[in-house]
Structure 1
Amino acid sequence: MPGPIERLSTHVLDVAAGRPAEGVGVTLVRDGDAVELGRGTTDADGRVAQLNDEPLDPGDVTLSYDVAAYMTRTHGTVFHPRITVHVRLDGARSHYHLPVLAGPFSHTTYLGS
């Protein structure tokens, strides 16, 4: 039975440099009404331990990663200044973790544990 999502965390890894991406701003919004549900900045390990300020209802959300400054500073260029990830949180878990693997010219993401 779907329940509230207590925690949504994320992690940004710079695949070109082979290290975590520190200082990347991340914003979480609910799709449809664009209500901001939380925000954070990646730490030295590239993580935001909890993006949501309050438990989340199941549904569709968007995470926006502002990687422009980080990529420009680290690699001297950026092709994707903002990475936008749309996901459906079905409520089957109380914690969702969304890692992003990013480089100056590409990115990918997956459902982590």
Structure 2
Amino acid sequence: MASPITCHVLNTLSGTPANNLKATLTLLPTDPALGKSGESFAATTNEDGRVKEWEASSGNTLLEVMEQFAAGERIPWSIKFAIGPWYEERGVESFWPEIEVKFYVKKGERHYHVPVLVGPWTYTTYRGS
């Protein structure tokens, strides 16, 4: 089954995909008493600047983590992109050491796609399809 959360990063400086960019997806606190926060997943964008699957830092997959929530529940997530080191590897100084996009996912809805347009001095994002 496909990941319920994917992303796509484009480098606006060159107009090309941001390939080989490290990203971390983290479950943010919902109800601390339930202990559901803190799960994280890692990925590196592919040659097209996309993350289609996430590697779990613990034993739980992203789908298993999502199963802990009730249908329709709003689940807060964060994706951090290591944009500073990525630009430095390309000889470009970036204003951003990292960028973070926080968003909600409702369990049971279609998958969520998070596109990001990034440059050394700016970034923007929106809910994709």
TM-score tier (shorter): 0.7 to 0.9
Q: More deviation in 24-33 or 49-58?
A: 49-58
Higher strand proportion (structure 1 or 2):
1
Q: Distance in 2 between matches of 1:31 and 1:19?
A: 30
Structure 2 distance, partners of 1:36, 1:28, is: 8
Unaligned runs of 5+ in 1: none
In 2: Cα distance, 1:91 partner to 1:63 partner: 18
1:9 aligned partner, one-letter code: T
TM-score, normalised relative to structure 1: 0.85
Q: Is the 8 A contact 1:27 1:36 kept in 2?
A: no
Select 1:96's aligned residue among 109, 112, 129: 112
> How large is the RMSD of aligned CA atoms in angstroms?
2.0
Choose which of 20, 23, 26 in structure 2 pairs with 1:26: 23
- Give 4+ residue runs of structure 1 displaced > 6 Å after superposition: none
Higher relative contact order (CA 8 A, sep 6+): 1
Contiguous gaps of at least 5 residues in structure 2 = 30-35, 56-60
Task: Check whether the contact 2:87–2:94 (CA below 8 A) recurs between aligned residues.
Answer: yes
Q: Report how many residues are paired.
A: 109
Q: Which of 51, 58, 62 is equivalent to 1:54?
A: 62
CA deviation after TM superposition for structure 1 residue 6, in Å: 4.9
